[in-house]
């Protein structure tokens, strides 16, 4: 009912290229404004939706909204950037949904493909090999794949060996420890180095301070997403930033 009544909103958080500070993408994050309870955080309702088996319906809704927005920008010949949508591990058990995503990808020129998918390493570890292949099938059809929360859960170098990810997103906990914990800093440097040797780009999530940004820039991280630049914002505010060239 919340979907039908449009209580879910797409918020977008920009990502920036560290080398020159230019905008290079965004992540779509769901927000729920409940009619009586007001704002409810995704950390609260997403686990409930997963438990009830409804998460794929929400993810599909988010993909529709983001694709619609990107198509409109393209039609209006306005500036846009790639936007990534989060996938739950449950989406990989919904064959109809995956086929629907691939059909959507095939409609566009792969060089123009502006949708990306984020999957957490923990989700990836929870899905079987057959289903992981489906993830790569999305990639073959032009979508970039981003491995989220890297280093936080069941990290496996085997995953990096067996699958071609485009982007790694380092877990927020490492970034928080910049300037606090020397071990975290060494791990960050090592992850950046390893990813680059594998030809994978890196996003650091959750950068809030000048010090964190300076460390990440000095150590060759490619992109940054965090409150240092902007918090997730409603779609219209995000589009306004894009129009203003910010
Ligand atoms: P995530 O994918 O790891 O998303 C990043 C979270 O970090 C977001 O929380 C974002 O608002 C927050 N964040 C970004 N920059 C900063 C920062 O500088 N400081 C701090 N403290 N936090 C920052 P959010 O929006 O509450 O989302 C929580 C989680 O809910 C997401 O984690 C993701 O796993 C899930 N989620 C959100 N939207 C969707 C969706 O449409 N579908 C699915 N399946 N999961 C979603
Ligand atoms: Ca994410
Ligand atoms: Ca994350």
pLDDT tens readout for residues 156-174: 788 888 889 999 999 999 9
**Mean per-residue pLDDT for 226-239?**
97
**What average pLDDT score do residues 143-160 get?**
87
**Reported confidence tier of residue 133, pLDDT bands at 50, 70, 90:** confident
Predicted local confidence at residue 109, as pLDDT:
76
For all residues of the chain together, what is the average pLDDT?
93
> Ligand 3 center to residue 116 CA distance, Å?
14
**Ligand 1 mutation target, pool 29, 56, 59, most atoms within 8 A of CB:** 29
Q: Is 23 in the pocket of ligand 1 (CB under 6 A)?
A: no
Length of the chain: 246
Beta carbon of 83 within 6 Å of any ligand 1 atom: no
Tell which residue, 27, 60, 40, 39, has the closest CA to residue 146: 27
Instruction: Give residue 162's pLDDT.
Output: 85
What pLDDT does residue 123 have?
Answer: 86
Give the C-alpha separation, 91 to 101, whole Å. 11
Residue 231 pLDDT exceeds 90: yes
pLDDT (0 to 100) of residue 75: 92
Cα separation, 161 vs 200, in Å, equals 12
Q: Residue 228's pLDDT band (boundaries 50, 70, 90)?
A: very high
Helix (H) or strand (E) holding 47: helix 42-52
Best CA proximity match to 169, nearest among 130, 226, 239: 226
Quick check: 21 and 61 in contact, CB under 8 A? no
Q: How confident is the model at residue 53 (pLDDT cuts 50, 70, 90)?
A: very high
Average the pLDDT over 216-220 and give the result: 98
Higher-confidence position of 126 and 96: 96
| Token duo for residue 3 | 């979907």
- 47 token code pair: 């686990």
pLDDT of residue 126: 82
In the chain, the DSSP E strands lie at: 8-17, 23-34, 38-40, 83-86, 115-120, 144-150, 167-170, 201-205, 223-225, 233-234
Q: Please tell me the residue having the least CA distance from ligand 1 atom 26.
A: 42
pLDDT higher than threshold 80 for residue 245: yes
Q: Does the pLDDT at position 146 exceed 80?
A: yes
CA of 75 from ligand 3 middle (Å) equals 31
8 A C-beta contact, residue 158 and residue 147: no
| Residue bearing the CA closest to ligand 1, atom 2 | 86
DSSP code at position 197: H
pLDDT band at 128 (very low <50, low <70, confident <90, very high): confident
When pLDDT is cut at 50, 70 and 90, the band that residue 209 belongs to is very high
């Amino acid at each position: 009912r919340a979907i039908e009544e449009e209580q879910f909103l797409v918020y977008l958080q920009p990502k920036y290229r560290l080398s020159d500070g230019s905008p290079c993408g965004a992540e779509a994050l769901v927000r729920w404004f409940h009619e009586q309870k007001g704002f409810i955080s995704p950390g609260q309702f997403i686990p409930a939706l997963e438990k009830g088996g409804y998460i794929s319906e929400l993810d599909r809704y988010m993909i529709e909204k983001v694709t619609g927005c990107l198509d409109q920008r393209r039609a209006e010949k306005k500036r846009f950037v790639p936007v990534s949508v989060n996938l739950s591990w449950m989406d990989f058990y919904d064959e109809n949904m995956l086929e629907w995503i691939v059909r959507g990808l095939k409609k566009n020129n792969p060089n123009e493909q502006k949708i990306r998918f984020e999957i957490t390493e923990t989700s990836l570890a929870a899905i079987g090999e057959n289903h992981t292949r489906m993830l790569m099938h999305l990639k073959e059809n032009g979508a970039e794949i981003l491995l989220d929360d890297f280093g936080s859960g069941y990290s496996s170098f085997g995953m990096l060996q067996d699958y071609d990810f485009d982007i790694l997103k380092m877990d927020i906990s490492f970034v928080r420890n910049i300037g606090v914990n020397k071990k975290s800093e060494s791990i960050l440097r090592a992850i950046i180095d390893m990813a680059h040797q594998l030809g994978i780009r890196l996003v650091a999530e959750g950068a809030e301070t000048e010090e964190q940004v300076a460390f990440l820039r000095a150590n060759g991280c490619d992109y940054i997403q965090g409150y240092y630049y902007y918090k997730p914002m409603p779609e219209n505010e995000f589009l306004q930033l894009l129009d203003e060239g910010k």
